[in-house]
Structure 1
Amino acid sequence: MAEARGIIDELVAEKARPSLTWLNHWRDTASHELFGSRVLEALRLSLPLPTHSPSWPRLFESLEQHCRDHCISTHTITLEIAATGILGNAAALESLEDPIARGFRLCLDGVSMVARLEGDSSLFTEIKADRGLVTTLSNETRDRLRSIIDLGHRQGLILTVAGVEDQATMDCLRELGGPVVQGDLVSPPLPGSEVLEWFRVRERQREAQRLEALRATGLLDTSPEERFDRLTRLAQHLLEVPVTLITMVDRDRQWFKSRQGLEVQETPRDIAFCHSTIQRDELMEVPDARRDERFSENPLVTGPPYIRFYAGQPLCLATGEKLGSLCIIETQPRRLEEHEKELLSYLAEHVEEELAARFPVTRDNTSGLLDESMFLIRANSALSLCRQFGFNTVLAKVSVTNIPSIQERHGDAAVDELIQQLGSVITTAATPAELVGRYGNDVVVLLMEATLGEVRALCEELEIAILEWISQRPDGKPGIDCHIYVASATFDENATLDSIWAGEWTRYATID
């Protein structure tokens, strides 16, 4: 009736007022204390748009004015537009430039087929799948949902699926790519007066689930592990920062599973930057903490370690719980370049792989180094990273040449003892290396992102350390003959450690 009388746009604008009042009320001081500013900043209000009409510009102007009246940014408002009335309608699509210019977000509602969407999706920040696709899940509707989700991922769109009413549907959607879901399984429609209590219960449940998942990893309050330390060292080196951390956000504290450049083992959660990081899905960057009202009075900014720049990437389990972050800290203001953000995200993925590992890294029982199989896995992963970001990778190896004669004259126990001690010497001297492991029976190999000059300096340290160790060995212990080699890894897209190993090596030193 309202459309027939030509007053639908005025009615929509007027109906938006109480919704904006409600949203503004939610952002008061009490809500900030209950949920924190980061959660409240993520709140979005969706408003349905009527069918396209010549009066749309007046509607958008009225909605913008209502937002100003309520001190609400238009960026927090999503206008939902039915796909059936907009796709293929050139005039209607052109009209959407107006709300975009005003800062509104646009959601295309009721998408059922990718073919209808491909050419017209660039105006939208979100797409909502037709609820009919999930009411009767079949192979056909699964394929259509997968296509819509894949398109959304390719174009960076937020994906929403409405009408989710059971756990089986939720599990299916997670397998297809994890869109945002709406429906009775999440919450039935609620009066505005009941939303606060629902939100409070939901946040309490989510936090309890997150803490349970954190404790299930068995990582809290454990000793440092090389599988994590190598990644914080790599982040510190590649991003040129003094401090890198892998944080675990516990109930009342932030505990560091791995840390470079920081002495303390934990900080209170209420002052932790990473507490804010785990409230979001993407990188959190603070270019200058002194100028950021969220952190300017934070004791970690006004006192040691005097944080000015912070960037943290949330660390998630496959089930979605955010345990903490991989973060970098600087004492000077800074902004990350796009490739640096990609690098931090890539390294965080490697941390997540380690978090998902239920078994300790395989190490050689004799030397304490990574055994050959695990070293190959780690090294090829590191080589992949270096290829992607154009870093130079160098290998160094210590090859023991007299193992057979030691074995023949002194037995297996003497060989085991010698390799164990040599492994300890090399590991201590080779802290700049990203990986140190066994390769075959008589070789210890090191991998690092560095210039040839830096690796030669490392080899010099190795030579000095090995010579000192030999000089201190008691009389009667077998001597050791070894060579130190260096190889620069210049490789093609398909290069592996094996192919580099078969290439050219330069002998750095001979010790006998």
Structure 2
Amino acid sequence: MTARTFGKSSVESIKRERDRLAALDNLDLLNSPRDEGFDRIVRLIQQVFTVEIGLVSLIDGHRQWYQSCSGLSADEVPVEDTFCRYVLDDEQPMIVQDATKDPRFVMHPAVTGPDHVRFYAGVPLKTKERHTIGTVCAIDRTPRSFSRRDLGILQELAGAAMDRIELMQTASTDSLTEALTRRAFKREAEQLIATALRHKHDLACLVLDVDHFKKVNDTCGHAAGDEVLKAVAATCRAKLRTGDLFGRLGGEEFAIILPHVGGEDAMIAAEKLRSEIAARSISGEFGTLNVTASFGASALSIVGRDIETLLAQADAAMYQAKGAGRNRCMSFASMQGADGMNARRRVLKAGNIVFNDRRSTIDCTVKSLGVDGAGIVVSNTAGIPPEFTLAIKADGFETNCSVISRDRQNLEVAFR
């Protein structure tokens, strides 16, 4: 890794972004399940302002992710392609009455393309510590005015969204699947890990992700997607022991802690769950569906002694399973043997993928990091070469990488 120096203004900007991402990471909301509280705020935006599009979003190192959105088909957009990047940079509200008359947006793809955006009003979503973690927006496909009173109402709705975020920090059970929430799962997992370390017994972690879940939602609707998630969760709970821990990490991603289970037995347990999920038919008004899941496994070790490391390791193995064809199980131990990978920790850092003799750069978010590898999220992995340079400005270094596995948005890399 090579250290780099930056000017004063650049250093201040990097620090602000690092602190902002740390605040976002602490809330642990990215890729979390849909929530009716946010959906209600979005509906209020549409009704109060009579606009076609309302959204509540979070912004990480490379994308704007829609915590809730009505009126747009996408779930996220690269941050450089969104109006909201100006709100993020300035940390102030922005109103665009007619995008076709604003030189910043007249040629913007959201204006010239099928979304046909004309009006935009966005306010920052700020924590109590004043870190801007996202935006709350009212958007329309026809030009319109927006009064000072309207702006005040939109800011109040942003405050309500932040109140909802704070309330979610105390929730322990996912209302759809009855699994533990991500925060509650991590809290209880740490207690089980502490017990395992104190009494020197085995413990393993599984991460599973439903394969091609977006296709289910797109072709059969969100109601079908909800039934799939409930069925996968019920299948897992039916096969787990009383003392096992089961949580929902994100939209279609779940995690399991298996006390008194070592690495080899964890793979046996994962394979049983994988086959049970694949064999189950899910029926409803949408017809009958069969889905599969990809599993990653990690186990307590000298380097894996906390839940963040175990999840990062299992996550890396799961994405390798997806890269190998999906509907299969992979252990982090096998990745260690093949690629020399060691401890990982979950992080949330803004990065850049640099290639083509430094002429091409793609924004990314680093989601896990170790001394010899990383997990990276991008808007689309298409076009990213098998070898590139990863730069993390907040840490002042860059390093060459080789891709170990990939899917549409995720890369697992080894440092060279």
Question: TM over 0.5: same fold?
Answer: no
Greater radius of gyration (CA): 1
Higher helix share: 1
Higher strand share: 2
RCO (CA 8 Å, sep 6+): is it higher in 1 or 2?
A: 2
Q: TM-score range by the shorter chain?
A: 0.3 to 0.5
TM-score, normalised by the number of residues in structure 2: 0.39
